[in-house]
Chains A and B, each alone.
Chain A
């Protein structure tokens, strides 16, 4: 558990994706089964047990610590699990508060013959045990971990020959080895609610600070460590130099602690066979097309269809062992999102694998992404939600038809299968995304500029652009260059004023590369800037240097990592910001939030007073959402 905790700790601070993978691979390599398997499960969200409530954690600490000191500490740290992890007494059975037993022997003062004596005997009743003997074997130290010691504080004297023997005595004896992640996971699975507090307290006694923190985050279900399930699987694949797609393919058929997976990755076993009737297939993605690309492309080679502004999904159905049809819905990264859309499952009644877009349809009309968003990331899907936000699948492609894998077939052939498949499904929740006929790129450009009259009709507002697919291309995982292109509609653009800048991460850590920008609005004391968004990409490396220099030279105040940059009517930097959409947001002072904002140009030529006003955004919002 301590080693897993070290990993989580390090991941939480590491901003770089490749560096995170490196940390994960090192962990998988150095950690034995089944611990690493349970770690992979924890990181991919594949563990399930009943979570402990924060109140339980609070009770545990108030039984053991002075409530006033706990109050001061919680105020300072600001996070319950972390506070408890840090101030957990060294051993709740060893009277911590009288523990100056361990202090170096007082040296009598030369000025004072008798000297003051410590208030109690330096040799108390703690038994003497040699360092290291107190623990039993079974724990292999790793360079990444805290050496499997029970408790960081006690280690102070491990290599310490300057401190007195008394100090060494502080290493209490007979410590059981700290629990492994496997111990924790397997115990939690079966532990009754009444036994949880005592078991948690035992573990907290045995773990070090980082271990306690990770344990509390794990049991309260609050493990936010900034890595996705996909990244954890990518790291596992990297351990065996395999393609992450292979793991995605077999993943639904695997279960913790993934012994067969690791055996295969380390070349000790066969590739696990996915017996899952509804496996995920790695998704094919498109490149954004540039104006210059068209010169090399022949319009006749391509088929076009609308790019809907929804959620790209894969809907898979298959026969389970008993012959019943089972259906699953995956996100484009392979995460199982079936639970969020139970209303779509009955519609997926024929075995097959559909690539499509999840949309909300009301009275046959596609709603905007803002509306769809109400259905995302819901823990509880209420009947009311299902009724008010009826879900719909608009299909693009067919990867499998029954037992028949279509991915090697050309697009035109797959499209024909898809049309027949959707007809057989004959379900109002599932329809076909129409193709957009065109004879030349000019014709397609006209359709893209005006989807309403080019076939999208009343749904035109939900069209993000057009997709181009080579008629002869197979369905390839990843983002191969050439077969698929996305040609988005021109984004919305405003001029905003740079207000705050923050340092970036990784390679950009020494540059101010995260920018908060604002537009003008009428305030109590005349016009003032109100922040409307934050962007950290869109600019070139050269532009980054220019902005960084501007930020450093024009900082008016600093708040931790954030710099307040000058933004007066005649002084400041105007940024042209492009974005995909707007929605109302009570969390922002301005009341609006942008989708995918990025810096499209630096307007050194423009004085801040000529930047856009909030009213402009309000108008855009109304024209986008009709509200």
Chain B
């Protein structure tokens, strides 16, 4: 299980390549702080403060504050600044997709991951060996970010959030049609769509606009800043309004977006008999939707589904696959059944964004002054 598979060696590099002493784990190694590149002197998406960090995308479990130097796409840096303030890192450097950067003994390039705006896969090349750390990615269409780019490599590090064959996401446009049909059927109710504030919410809005929905869309306070940032970056989202301060009757027949946890909160009382929707890949499984008290599950995911994961893995041509956060076992099993060397990568500290986004991160104050505050934002 060490090094590249024989097939890869023979096909792409000739027999001499494998004789070099550089094993993939000499280039990238999981350590408690995250994925560490010793020859390059950096970590990818570190969960603890490090000297030099390369960040794949702006979700808070991947992009944390307190590093010495941060290298990321402009959008990712902007998102970190929005969340953590100006001084979130000692220094920052923006990198364009495809731009080659030499760090120590390695060359790195960033490539679109199709996950959220500014998301990147990070390709690390050392001598003849290329490892691609994909971060979170999806191969499905998303009008709010650059499409996933396939980067041929020797070792592919894949996420496995939806690494079970039951997860097949279908076309997000159909899910939006489902939402609009429901809005039409229940004009006296509000439709409340739970969606992660960074990426998912904007994608849902963009899809609604593509489907011809041109009424104002209402936002929970926690997602205003990031959504306006998307607009600044030239992504057309139509007319957006804060849900704050609206009268109940005025919200009949409207669509509002909120962080998932807010849709089951006292916050919802301002809406007339709300239909609770949730845009997430997890909605494919009924028990998950039912647990959350969801009435209208929308299967819209920012992660690749099973078919996307397996197709991507195969298409990279990588002979060795490292599988991280999610359902590693099933995906590792699949890789092995296809003759690929594969192992789970024990990285900790990465979550699934749909699972636990605090709703009350920004001041969406409760008009009723309910006693809940801190206790509400914590997940069991």
B165 touches A106 (CB 8 A): no
A109 touches B151 (CB 8 A): yes
How far is A438 from B320 in the complex, measured between Cα atoms in Å?
Answer: 90
How far is A146 from B177 in the complex, measured between Cα atoms in Å?
Answer: 9
Could you tell me which residues of chain A, from 530 to 587, have a CB within 8 Å of some CB in chain B?
A: 549, 552-553, 555, 557-561
**A122: nearest chain-B partner, CB-CB:** B315
The segment out of B19-27, B141-149, B232-240, B345-353 that lies at the interface is B141-149
Q: Does A14 contact B (CB under 8 A)?
A: yes
How far is A587 from B289 in the complex, measured between Cα atoms in Å?
Answer: 26
A209 touches B12 (CB 8 A): no
How far is A443 from B143 in the complex, measured between Cα atoms in Å?
Answer: 78
- Give me 5 A-to-B residue pairs in the complex whose CB atoms sit less than 8 angstroms apart, sorted by A's number: A22-B185, A69-B334, A87-B165, A509-B276, A561-B264
How far is A99 from B313 in the complex, measured between Cα atoms in Å?
Answer: 11
A144 and B130 in contact, given A82-B286, A111-B107, A114-B12 (Cβ under 8 angstroms)? no
- Residues of B close to A506: CB separation below 8 A: 273
The segment out of A155-163, A282-290, A339-347 that lies at the interface is A155-163
- Residues of A close to B1: CB separation below 8 A: none
**A108: nearest chain-B partner, CB-CB:** B152
Which of A23, A87, A153, A156 lies at the interface centre, i.e. has the most chain B CB atoms within 10 A of its CB?
A156
Bitwise, B43-73 to A at CB < 8 A (1) or not (0) is 0000000000000000000000000000000
A205 CB, min distance to chain B CBs, angstroms? 15
Q: Does A177 contact B (CB under 8 A)?
A: no
A111 and B380 in contact, given A146-B174, A510-B268 (Cβ under 8 angstroms)? no
Q: Does B375 contact A (CB under 8 A)?
A: yes
A13 and B268 in contact, given A104-B139, A153-B168, A557-B380 (Cβ under 8 angstroms)? no
Q: Which of A14, A159, A549, A560 contacts B371 (CB 8 A)?
A: A549
The segment out of A70-78, A246-254, A325-333 that lies at the interface is A70-78
The segment out of B78-86, B304-312, B357-365 that lies at the interface is B304-312
> Other CB < 8 Å A-B pairs besides A10-B296, A109-B109, A159-B171, 10 of them?
A65-B165, A70-B165, A104-B139, A107-B150, A156-B141, A156-B170, A509-B274, A509-B293, A558-B379, A561-B293
B330 touches A69 (CB 8 A): yes
**B314: nearest chain-A partner, CB-CB:** A100
**B269: nearest chain-A partner, CB-CB:** A510
**A74: nearest chain-B partner, CB-CB:** B166
Q: Does B98 contact A (CB under 8 A)?
A: yes
By Cβ-Cβ distance, the 3 closest A-B pairs, closest first, are A116-B152, A152-B170, A116-B317
B314 touches A111 (CB 8 A): no
Q: Does B329 contact A (CB under 8 A)?
A: yes
Q: Does A291 contact B (CB under 8 A)?
A: no
- Residues of B close to A77: CB separation below 8 A: 166, 285, 287
Binding site for B on A (CB under 8 A): 6, 10, 12-16, 19, 22-23, 26, 65-66, 68-70, 72-73, 76-79, 82-83, 86-87, 90, 97-100, 102-112, 114-119, 143-144, 146-147, 152-153, 155-160, 162-163, 208-209, 503, 506-507, 509-510, 549, 552-553, 555, 557-561
B181 touches A144 (CB 8 A): yes
- Residues of B close to A560: CB separation below 8 A: 291-292
A83 touches B166 (CB 8 A): yes
Could you tell me which residues of chain B, from 89 to 144, have a CB within 8 Å of some CB in chain A?
A: 98, 100, 107, 109, 123, 125, 130, 139-141
A86 and B177 in contact, given A77-B285, A79-B287 (Cβ under 8 angstroms)? no
A103 and B139 in contact, given A87-B166, A555-B375, A558-B380 (Cβ under 8 angstroms)? yes
How far is A558 from B292 in the complex, measured between Cα atoms in Å?
Answer: 13
Q: Does B327 contact A (CB under 8 A)?
A: yes
A147 and B268 in contact, given A66-B334, A110-B109 (Cβ under 8 angstroms)? no
B337 touches A510 (CB 8 A): no
Binding site for A on B (CB under 8 A): 8, 11-12, 98, 100, 107, 109, 123, 125, 130, 139-141, 147-154, 164-171, 173-174, 177-178, 180-182, 184-186, 210, 264-266, 268-269, 273-274, 276, 284-287, 289-297, 307, 310-318, 327, 329-330, 333-334, 337-338, 370-372, 375-376, 379-380
- Residues of A close to B268: CB separation below 8 A: 509-510
- Residues of B close to A82: CB separation below 8 A: 285-286
B20 CB, min distance to chain A CBs, angstroms? 16
Q: Which of A100, A146, A561 contacts B291 (CB 8 A)?
A: A561
A155 touches B170 (CB 8 A): yes
B290 touches A13 (CB 8 A): yes
B130 touches A112 (CB 8 A): yes
- Residues of A close to B327: CB separation below 8 A: 72, 76
Which of B141, B180, B268 lies at the interface centre, i.e. has the most chain A CB atoms within 10 A of its CB?
B141
A158 touches B171 (CB 8 A): yes
Q: Which of B147, B148, B276, B284 contacts A209 (CB 8 A)?
A: B284
**B318: nearest chain-A partner, CB-CB:** A116
How far is A623 from B333 in the complex, measured between Cα atoms in Å?
Answer: 61
**B329: nearest chain-A partner, CB-CB:** A72
B164 touches A100 (CB 8 A): no
B180 CB, min distance to chain A CBs, angstroms? 8
How far is A166 from B376 in the complex, measured between Cα atoms in Å?
Answer: 47
A73 touches B149 (CB 8 A): no
- Residues of A close to B375: CB separation below 8 A: 552, 555
- Residues of B close to A76: CB separation below 8 A: 164, 166, 285, 327
- Residues of A close to B184: CB separation below 8 A: 143
- Residues of A close to B315: CB separation below 8 A: 100, 103, 106, 118
A13 touches B297 (CB 8 A): yes
- Residues of B close to A208: CB separation below 8 A: 170
A503 touches B317 (CB 8 A): no
A15 touches B164 (CB 8 A): no
A13 and B107 in contact, given A116-B153, A118-B314, A557-B380 (Cβ under 8 angstroms)? no
- Residues of B close to A503: CB separation below 8 A: 264, 293
A99 touches B307 (CB 8 A): yes
How far is A153 from B167 in the complex, measured between Cα atoms in Å?
Answer: 10
A160 touches B141 (CB 8 A): yes
How far is A107 from B121 in the complex, measured between Cα atoms in Å?
Answer: 14
